[in-house]
Each structure stands twice: as structure tokens, then as C-alpha cells.
Structure 1
Amino acid sequence: MRILLTNDDGIHASGFSVLEGIARQFSDDIWVCAPAEEQSGAGHSLSLSRPVRLRRHGERRYSVSGTPTDSVMLALHQVMDSPPDLILSGVNRGANLGDDVTYSGTVSAAIEGTLAGIRSIALSQVYAREGMADAVPFAAAEAWGAKVLAPLLDTPFADRTLVNVNFPAVPPEEVKGIRVVRQGFHDYARGSVVEGKDPRGYPYYWFGLHGIEHTPGHATDLEAIADGYVSVTPLMLDLTHESSLAELSKKFTG
């Protein structure tokens, strides 16, 4: 099985080496193509206004001076001599739960793979932000990554769907199991924007990650993670709100 690895934290991120360790439990045919630097929050952005550069770091190992989407596109069209059977994106430093998947470069790399018709899975490690900085413990992802992936490799994915996996912020022995759950919801009205001044007195703004109200419902990814489970959520690319089609059509017929 040929596996392409990518992420949004950058090719040198700690979680990326964790992902490679997980992938090598399934295959030796591993290819790496990831952003040269951190691209968290890049979403499904594609670099259109500047050139993107590709750097080779070794056999089947490349970095890209662009976004996670750029990385997947270059891997498929320039780097690899044939398509992969699987794309794994992560292991992200931090949660990708609820509505946050729309911002996530990790999930968006998997979306790009899905658009290309390739089975794609995003993986993220939740952590307690206070005092952690870059010292994020990936032990839960290391211990449970292969346990989650093995069943997924034998499961057919519906067309234009991907799977989003999150590991809880607990030691591996405290993980209660795996739950397949729907996407949850965040109340972004309670999000924060932090204002400051640079050394020359000019204002700047930093988007805060704290203060967002979590509204976990029954059987959501938010609830599963809060309860100490690995969350597995199938996502689809079709954003059409089917039940609104008929009502809107009435407004434009006459």
C-alpha cells in the first residue's frame, strides 16, 4: 500500500514524526510532502498569487513553500510517479472538532485528497493548552493511531467523503475507546480577538483560541473527546442544504 503523508504544522513538526510511525505499521511505501513551515488555520487555501517551491529532503521526502492543499497537489502531480492508495494528514497539534474543520489545514489536506478520489484521513491530537506551547503529548495518538486506522482501511468510503479523527488529551491508558460520532458545534460569538501594540506603537490583532463556547450535543465529536474517547467522524464535501432547494426554487419561478 502506497501512503502519502502531509500536515499543516510543517514537515519538522513533532506530530508529523508520530504520523510517520503510525503509517509505517501498515506500509514501507511512504511518501512525504508537507508544508515547509506551519500553516495552521490555512483551511483549503491554494497559493495563486505567488510561486510555490518544492524542496527535496531525501528519498520520497519533500517540503513545499505553501499550504497543505499546495502540498497535496504537488505530491500528486509532480512528486509521485503514481497515485497513493491512502493520504494521511496530521497528526495535528491541537483539536480539529466541530466547526473548526472549516479552518483546519489538516482536514483540508484530506479534502484535497478526497477531491482527487483518494481515501483520505485527518488525524489530530487534542491537548490542554495551558503551559504546553510546543510540548504537546502525542502519546494517545501514538498508542491508538494504528487501532483507529486498521478498521478504516478495510471500510469503503462513500464518494467525496473523508474521515476526521481526534485523540483525547489523556494518557493512552485512560482512553476509553473509539466512538463514531457526528460533527459538533462551537459558539463563535464568544470567541476572542486580542488587541496589542507593536514596538513602534502600531496596533495589531491576534485571534484568540480561548473563550469559545463549546456546545456538545448527544454523540458529537466534542462530547466524545470530553468523555475521553477517540472520535471518528465521516465528513462529506457536498455542502448543499438539500431541504432548502425546493423553498428557494419557489422564489425564482414565476
Structure 2
Amino acid sequence: MKVLVTNDDGYTAVGLAIMAQRLAAAGHEVMVAAPQEQQSGGSASLGPVEHGAQVAWREVTREALPGMRVLVIDGPPAFSVKAVRSGVFDWEPEVVVSGINYGWNAGASILHSGTVGAALTACASGLNAVAISCAKDASQSNLQMAADVVVSAIELLQQADGPPLALNINMPNCSAGALKGVQHAEIAPEGLVDVGVEMVNGELRMKLERPVSGASAQHDSHAVMNGFVSITVHNGRFQEVAPGNSRLCADIGSRLRLTSTAHDGAPAAF
């Protein structure tokens, strides 16, 4: 399968390299197209939109990604998806993977996520896609587990009938033995982290805040914080697909020999 890998942390990010390496090891043809620099918080932005505007890009070689085309594009990850999908690089992906991101993307704050925005852009263009995120202090082994989840997810997505879907997957920060299962969750009413704004000596500054959680057992943020691989499912019209509407999460759990649960914590009937 032809897999486009992007991210919002930039083309040199370790998580991106681990993801691309794992996909290649699974036998997939991988192209990397990722931002020149950090683009977190960019949502599905394409950057400044103006007819004829020039966007800088270059093709590079990365020692960590032998045999892969690596495109460095000076724009948000959603633009990288658009650029490759346009055909100008003479390569057509079958599925898009965005990540592995350092920092969970859960709850309503996924609205601002460049990682999720790239996956939704791919889905809106007619491709299945996966956004994958880990904790900010995720270990190498945790990143490898996340990559394993994605390999199973894209293979199952491509086998499924129906319109394209985008999966937003969050990997809990624990060892393989401590994983409790896979949960098809709902988007929590708030994110694990929110962005506030303050004035300091006449300077406008961002500040990261941890909101008071209103999440309960059915929500993605609650799931990932409690040892479950959290998956929310979205369609190409940017709508959330409610738990119980597909077998994907159950099948991913089966491949990983993990239990799949519905939003109430009971075994899922997918």
C-alpha cells in the first residue's frame, strides 16, 4: 500500500521517523511530506491562501529513512497532504498517516490540532487516514507500540467497505503489559490541555492550561488517561462516527490481542 506520512512537529521529529520505519517494515511504500518546522496548533490550515502564491519545498535524504522520498514543505501538514494529493510529485497515496505526535490530541481541543487536521484533510479528499499521538514524555517502546497500532489500523481501514474514515488514535503512556484495551470513544467536551491568553508587560502571550475535566468513561481523554488506546472515528464531512457503528476498533484490538470496549466500559458490540 502507498502510505503518505506527515506530522505537525516537523520533518526531523523522532515520532515521524519511527512511524515511517514501521510502515516500511510492514511492506508498505512510504513517502514522507512534512513541514519545514513546528506547525502544532495549525488545525487543517493551508497557510496564507492566495492564487499563485509560491510555497517553498525541497527533497532531502534522511539517514533514518533510507530509500524513502522525504519532502520538506514550508507550510502546515494539511498543505503537505494537499500538495501530494494534487499529483505534482507523480505519486498517489492510498492512505495517509499523521504522526506520531508528541502530546495527546483528545477532547474538543482537537479542533486546533495540526496532526488531526492533516488526517481530516486527507479524509475529505477521499482517502482513509489515521492521526496518532502519544504522551509528551513517551518512551521509545511506547512510540513503537503506537506505530504497531497504526499498521493494524490502516490495513483494516483499507479492507473495510463504505466511505473513507479518519481515525484519531491516542496511545496511553504505559507498557504493553499495562494496556487495558482499545476503546472506540467519544470526543470529550474539553481537551487535556487548553490554550489561554495573557498580557505580560504589554506583550500578548499564550499560556497552556489544564482545564477542569468534565470527561467521563465514554470520552477519549478519560480512556487514554486510564490505560486504553483511545480511538475516535470521523468521516469526510468532519462528523464524529458514534461508537458501535463499525467493527474497526474491535478488529484492531483483536490484532493486538487486546480487549475492545464500548463507551460504557463493557465489551463492545461492533
TM-score calculated relative to the size of structure 2: 0.76
2:182 corresponds to: 178
Q: Which residue of 2 aligns with 1:109?
A: 118
Greater C-alpha radius of gyration: 1
1:13 aligns with 2:16: no
Equivalent position of 1:163 in the other structure: 167
Q: Which residue of 2 aligns with 1:67?
A: 76
Q: Deviation of residue 161 (structure 1)?
A: 2.9
What's the offset of the Cα at 1:19? 1.3
Aligned-pair CA distance for 1:70: 1.1
Compute the RMSD of aligned alpha carbons. Answer: 2.5
Give the C-alpha shift of residue 26 in structure 1.
2.4
d(CA) in 2 for partners of 1:214, 1:149: 31
**What CA distance in whole angstroms lies between the structure 1 residues aligned with 2:195 and 2:75?**
28
Q: Report whether the alignment pairs 1:53 with 2:67.
A: no
Instruction: Name 1:89's counterpart in structure 2.
Output: 98
Looking at structure 2, the residues matched to 100 and 187 of structure 1 have their Cα atoms a distance apart, in angstroms, of 5
1:137 Cα deviation after fit: 2.8
1:72, 1:216 → 2: CA distance?
Answer: 32
Q: Aligned partners of 1:97, 1:159: CA distance in 2, in Å?
A: 23
The 1:79/1:28 distance shift into structure 2, 3 A limit, reads farther
Moved segments of 4+, more than 4 Å: none
Counterpart residue number, 1:252: none
Q: Where does 1:120-131 land on structure 2 (aligned, <5 Å)?
A: 120-127=129-136
3-state DSSP of counterpart to 1:209: strand
Shift of 1:239: 5.5
CA distance, structure 2, for counterparts of residue 121 and residue 20 of structure 1: 13
User: Deviations 1:132-157 (Å, cap 9, x if unpaired)?
Assistant: 6xxx5343231243245315422426
CA contact (8 A) 1:187 1:215 kept: no
Partner of 1:213: 212
Task: Report how far residue 88 of structure 1 moved.
Answer: 0.3
Secondary structure at 2:209 match in 1: coil
Aligned-pair distance for 1:240? 7.7
Aligned to 1:139: 141
TM-score by length of 1: 0.80
Deviation, 1:217, is 2.0
Q: Tell me the equivalent position of 1:149.
A: 151
Secondary structure, counterpart of 2:25 in structure 1:
coil
Which residue is 1:238 aligned to?
A: 237
Letter of the 1:175 counterpart: L
Superposition deviation, residue 113 in structure 1 = 0.9
Q: Shift of the alpha carbon at 1:63?
A: 0.6
- Structure 2: give runs of 5+ residues left out of the alignment: 62-67, 241-270
Give, as a single letter, the amino acid of the residue that structure 2 aligns with 1:20. Answer: A
| Residues 18 and 147 in structure 2, CA contact (< 8 A), matched pair in contact too | no
Partner of 1:245: none
